[in-house]
Structure 1
Amino acid sequence: MDTIILNKGKDKAAWQLHPWVFSGAIATVEGTPKNGDVVAVVNTNREFIAYGVYNNGSRVAVRLLEWHPDRIPDENWWRLRIQKAVQARAHLFVDGFNTTARLIFAEADFIPGLIADRYGDYISIQVHAAGVEQVKDIVIDELNKLLQPKGIYERSDLKSREHEGLVDTNGLLSGSMPPEFVDIIENGIHYQVNIIEGQKSGFYCDQRENRLLTAQYVKDKKVLDCFCYSGGFTLNALKMGAAAVTSVDSSALAIETLHKNIVRNNFDVTKLTAIQSDVNKQLRAFGEQEEKFDLIILDPPKYAPSRSALDRASRAYKDLNRRGMMLLNSGGLLATFSCSGAMDIDTFKQVLAWAALDAGKEIQFIRQFTQPEDHPVRASFPEGEYLKGLLCRII
C-alpha cells in the first residue's frame, strides 16, 4: 500500500479523527497512488494514523476512512459501513407515515463522498469523491441486498466532482427507471418526487422534523412559505389547519409538483396561492401591496458555500429576513433557516438581530431547529452540522 507522510505538526487533526487531510499537510507521498486508491497515512516517525483514499487533484488530498491498523478498507469494510448506516435508519421507515430518509450521509457515516437517499421504492445516490467512484459497484450491490429497491438512480451532477477530477454522471445504476414522479410519504403526507430532474437528489428530507414542528403554530393563521420547492412546509401547514398559505418558488417544476401534491393529499386547493417568482422580488411586491402574514417560512438555498463567502452571505440573509419581518403582523412568527455550513448558529442569530434592527422590529428566539437524526454530526467532524434554523416571534 502506498504511504502518505504528514508534515510535523500537521497531523493533529488526523489523530483526532477528523476525516480530511489537506494537501498542504503532506510532506511526502511514497509510491504512485492513483486518484481514489486507498493509502496509509503516517506521521514523520512513521507511526500509523489512518487509512484513507487519495486524490492529488483535490484540496482535500486524503479522505480518511479507518483509524484501526488491522481494519484495512477492502470490499468487506465498505459493505459493513453501508450496512451500519442503513441499519441505523431502519426505525425511521413506518408504513403509511414515512417512506423517505437519508440512508448514508458521507463523512458522518465514515463513507466520505457518498450520499444515498431512499424515496419509497427507489434510491437516489450522489458520489462526490474519487474514492467512492472506485467502489460504486460494491455500494450498489450492497444497497440492493439490504433494501431490494425497484431502482437505484445516480444524480452526481455536482461542482465538487470537478475538484475530484470526475465528470458529471446522471443515470440508472440498477433496476428499473424511476417514473417521472415517485410517490413518497413524509409525516403522513404524500409527495410526488422527481428523482431525475428535481433539486438535489429529488427532495429535501433534512427538513422533515422542522416541517412538523413549524406546523404546530399554523392553525387558523395566514402563512407565507418562501422557497417552497414541492411544498414541504406548505403541505404540513394545510394539514394542520392553516387558514391560507401563499407559496413562492422561482422553479416552474417546483410549483407544478406542489400542485400535484395538493391534489394527491386531497387538501383544500382554495386555501393555496402558488406563485412562481424570485422570492426577494416577491417579498418587495408584498411590501408595496402592504400584505401581512401571521407566519412566514424562509428556507433559502445555500448562500455561503465556504467561509470566504460568509460576509456576502450574511448580508443576503440579513436582507431576506428583514423583508420577511416587515411583512409580519405583531406577534407573528418567522421560521427562518440556513443550510450554509459556514454559517454557525451564533452568527445566524446575530444576522437576525441586525435584520430586526433594520426592520424596526424586536424579536424573541423561541425555538431552535437543526437537522434530523438521519443527518447525524460526527463529534470529530463538526463541519457536518450544516442545517440550522430559528423560530422568531415579532413582539
Structure 2
Amino acid sequence: MKGEGKAGDLAVIFSFKKNKFIGVGLYDPDSPIRIRVLHQGSPAQINNDFFRARTQDAKKVREALLATDTNGYRLLHGENDGFPGLVVDVYAGVAVIKVYSPVWFPWLSGLIPVIVEAAAAETAVFRCARNVEKAAAALGFIDGQVIHGELADEDVVFREHGLSFVANVVHGHKTGFFLDHRANRRRIGQLAKGHDVLDVFSYAGGFSVHALGGGARRVVSLDISAPALAMARRNVVLNFGEERRHETLAEDAFVALERMQKKGETFGVVIVDPPSFAKREKEVPGALDAYRRINKLAVPLVEPGGILLAASCSARVPAEDFFRVVEAVLTASGRKWTLLEKTAHDDDHPIGFPEGAYLKSGYYRLN
C-alpha cells in the first residue's frame, strides 16, 4: 500500500531488504493495530474465495461439537480463525456477525453470503462494537440490523447439549449469549447430581440450567443484575417448566457470599465465574486481588468433599497467575484440596496465538 489508506484497504507487508513477501492484511488507520494480518508466508489473493475457504476450514473444526445436540456455536473466533476483529456466532440458524474493527465494512457485502452458506443460516444479524458504531452508521449498518432473511423474534431459542437457552440476538450482550463455557457447563451438569449448587455471577443461568439438568437438588443463581436473573429464570422454566429447585439472588457477590458464610450455608458445588476484572494491563494487580477475595469468600461455602469451580475470563491475567492466586487461597484456608482438572475454551473457541487463551477454569475438590 502506498500513500494514505482507508480502513479495510489491503496492506502488503514486504521486506525490501530481503526482497521478500511477509504477509498481507487489512489496514486499520485509527487502531493501535495498524494492520489486521490475514495471511503470511507465501503470497495469496484476498477475495471471496479466500474467505470462503477459510470459513469452511473453521466449520470443520466445529464438526465434533455440531454432531452433538447443539446448534448454538461460534463459527468464526476472530484472529484465532484468521478473521481479526470479526466474530460470528450461530444460534439455531441465525448467524450473528459482530464487527469489532472497521476494516471489515468494505468486505461485508461479499462476506455475508459466505457466512450464511457455511452456517446454513436462514437469517443474519449485524452487531458491532461501540467503537465502530459511527463508521457502521455512515455505511447504513445499525447494531441489531437484520442483514439477511427475516427474524421472527429477537429472542432465539437454541440448544446446548440437549438443553435450551434464549439468546437475544438484537440487544443481548456480545452476540446474545456466552458460548465459550459450554464444556464447563456440561461438566457441572455431570457433577451436580444430588447436590446443592451455588452459581456465583450466574448471568443468564448457563451453569444453573446444566446443574438442574444433571439432577442438582437445589440451585441458587447469584448475580447483581436483576435482568440477567430474569433471563436465568426464563431459561430454567424453558427446560423444566417450573422453578421448584431454582432460587435467584440479586445482590453483590462479595456481600452475598460473606453473609452466606456467616449463616453457615454450604453447597456441594460452588461456581465462581466473574466477569473480566482486568480490561487493561494496569488493572491486572487489582484483578488478581479481586480473584483472591472472591475465592476466599467462596471456599468456606464448599461442603467437605464438595467442588469449587474457579474461572477467569480476563485475557490480561495469565493462567499461571490466576491459578497461583486461587491455589494460595485454598492452601491458606487450611483445608486439604485436590486439583481435579484445568480447562480452557470449548472447541468452537480455538486458540491461534498465546494471547487468545483468555478463558481458564480449575476444578478443585475440598475436604
Paired with 1:106 and 1:392, the residues of 2 have a C-alpha distance of 31
The alpha-carbon distance between structure 1 residues 178 and 205, as it changes in their structure 2 partners (threshold 3 A), is farther
Deviation at 1:135, TM superposition (A): 0.8
Deviation at 1:198, TM superposition (A): 2.1
Partner of 2:102: 130
Q: Deviations over 1:109-133 (max 9, x none)?
A: 1111110011002111211122222
Paired with 1:158 and 1:338, the residues of 2 have a C-alpha distance of 24
Q: Deviations over 1:297-354 (max 9, x none)?
A: 0111111223332111101111111111122222221011111122222111111123
Q: Deviations over 1:72-128 (max 9, x none)?
A: 212322222223223432443247x11111000111111111100110021112111
Paired with 2:130 and 2:349, the residues of 1 have a C-alpha distance of 19
Deviation at 1:287, TM superposition (A): 2.1
Equivalence map 1:216-365=2 (5 Å): 216-266=190-240, 269-357=243-331, 359-365=333-339
Moved over 6 A (4+): 164-168
State whether residues 247 and 274 of structure 1, in contact with CA within 8 Å, keep that contact through their aligned partners in structure 2: yes
**Which segment is superposed worse, 259-268 or 187-196?**
259-268
Residue type at the aligned position of 1:106: G
**Which segment is superposed worse, 164-173 or 240-249?**
164-173
Deviation at 1:36, TM superposition (A): 1.7
Paired with 2:337 and 2:366, the residues of 1 have a C-alpha distance of 5
Residue type at the aligned position of 1:368: K
Q: Please point out which of 343, 346, 361 is paired with 1:389.
A: 361
Paired with 2:16 and 2:154, the residues of 1 have a C-alpha distance of 54
Partner of 1:56: 29
Partner of 1:100: 72
Residue type at the aligned position of 1:110: G
- Unpaired runs of 5+ residues, structure 2, are none
Paired with 2:232 and 2:47, the residues of 1 have a C-alpha distance of 44
Residue type at the aligned position of 1:59: P
Paired with 1:346 and 1:145, the residues of 2 have a C-alpha distance of 40
Paired with 2:218 and 2:43, the residues of 1 have a C-alpha distance of 60
Partner of 1:20: none
**Which segment is superposed worse, 307-316 or 164-173?**
164-173
- Unpaired runs of 5+ residues, structure 1, are 3-29
Partner of 2:145: 171
State whether residues 325 and 361 of structure 1, in contact with CA within 8 Å, keep that contact through their aligned partners in structure 2: no
Q: Please point out which of 8, 33, 39 is paired with 1:66.
A: 39
Paired with 2:196 and 2:312, the residues of 1 have a C-alpha distance of 23
Residue type at the aligned position of 1:185: R
The TM-score, its normalising length taken from structure 1, stands at 0.85
Deviation at 1:267, TM superposition (A): 5.7
Q: Please point out which of 119, 125, 150 is paired with 2:91.
A: 119
Residue type at the aligned position of 2:53: L
**What is the CA RMSD across the aligned residues, in angstroms?**
2.2
Residue type at the aligned position of 1:312: G
Aligned to 1:52, the other structure's residue is in SS state strand
Paired with 2:70 and 2:297, the residues of 1 have a C-alpha distance of 34
Deviation at 1:188, TM superposition (A): 0.6
Aligned to 1:138, the other structure's residue is in SS state helix
Deviation at 1:258, TM superposition (A): 1.8
Deviation at 1:367, TM superposition (A): 1.1
State whether residues 151 and 178 of structure 1, in contact with CA within 8 Å, keep that contact through their aligned partners in structure 2: no
Residue type at the aligned position of 1:376: P
The alpha-carbon distance between structure 1 residues 343 and 87, as it changes in their structure 2 partners (threshold 3 A), is same
Paired with 2:228 and 2:23, the residues of 1 have a C-alpha distance of 44
Partner of 2:14: 42
